A and B are shown apart, each in its own frame.
Chain A
């Protein structure tokens, strides 16, 4: 029986991940310098019977809580649910198919600060590739990986922390309101959260001293996944852009998606209205101290063909 509250909660959504969850938990605990300070909080996001999270009996299982959702929440709402059940002061948000570098918890405790989100290095388990946070692509509202490591000796601000490795104090996560549950299922949650964090006055700092090795889907699996998720992803991009972009760019964004995804745009626009995207924009304008323009200036952001981003 646990007598000491954990300081770090490893938070992950899992939908049909099965044994991969147990391997992730085992890695997080096995690689930790102080495993007694770690708990895992898993949201079983309406997995099928064969795909439910499986964690080995013993120490791993004692340090793991699995919350079952009978509805498909999607990654954002699932992470929020896991965070609500977390006991740790720090949240290490990751995916259900990752491996942790040795001593990760020591580094996280050393580097975190009240208004700081850590972005950790993401490795591909099948190659030498590494990602060092992401950057925003506007007006599409997608992202690109940073593949060059940040310069040493500097505080490496990045625009977006990856879903595979985002570390944040639970108090800050709650103050920010977690991930946007107006988005659906998959796509856009992490960049929207990151941009909102920047607008709220937090910073996102990348570290190369913590690495998470991630299982990227093989091409065939990726293609099938995207085919099923595309409408949700189009909607989420539109909602993200409606929430944050200068107003003069919003229609441009919509037309871009209409050109690229003609079979998905109508349903995405209907969802956008039903889920009150403009209300969300107004709410963020009232509550956040900084506009999107501050994010643009900080990172000298240009649009995806190199043009300046307008102020309004």
Chain B
């Protein structure tokens, strides 16, 4: 499934239509629900745009990053 996720159509569904993606791959239960709810993990700014969480190995905390 992750291989298929690299296809342009599947990638669009992954971002914008997780229900369709779940239907395509027969996903159910907790996996399906978590896929749909993944947007909750990504903060948005005042305009509703996704905000990149610059989290990585050496993390941005109080301005301390790489």
Do A and B form a real pair?
A: yes
Secondary structure at the B interface, as helix, strand, loop or mixed, is mixed
Taken residue by residue from 252 to 285, chain A's Cβ proximity to chain B (1 for < 8 Å, 0 otherwise) reads as 1011101111100110011011000110000000
B-binding segment of A12-20, A34-42, A64-72, A303-311: A303-311
In this complex, how many residues of chain B approach chain A with their Cβ under 8 Å: the count is 37
Cβ < 8 Å to A, chain B residues 8-30: 8, 11, 14-15, 18, 27, 29-30
Which B44-66 residues sit within 8 Å CB-CB of chain A?
A: 50, 52-59, 61-66
For the complex, give the distance between the alpha carbons of A186 and B29 in Å.
35
Given that A216-B65, A252-B38 are known contacts, is A189 also in contact with B6, CB under 8 Å in the complex? no
Considering the complex, give the chain B residue whose CB is closest to the CB of A191.
Answer: B57
Q: Which residues of A contact B29 (CB under 8 A)?
A: 248
Contact of B57 among A143, A248, A251, A277 (CB under 8 A): A143
Contact A187 B56, beta carbon cutoff 8 Å: yes
Q: B41: which A residues are within 8 A, CB to CB?
A: 139-140, 252, 256, 303-305
Q: Are B66 and A217 in contact (CB under 8 A)?
A: yes
Distance A10 CA – B66 CA, assembled complex (angstroms) = 20
A163 at the binding interface (Cβ < 8 Å): yes
Report 7 cross-chain contacts, Cβ distance below 8 Å, ordered by A residue: A144-B61, A217-B66, A248-B30, A249-B34, A256-B38, A273-B2, A305-B41
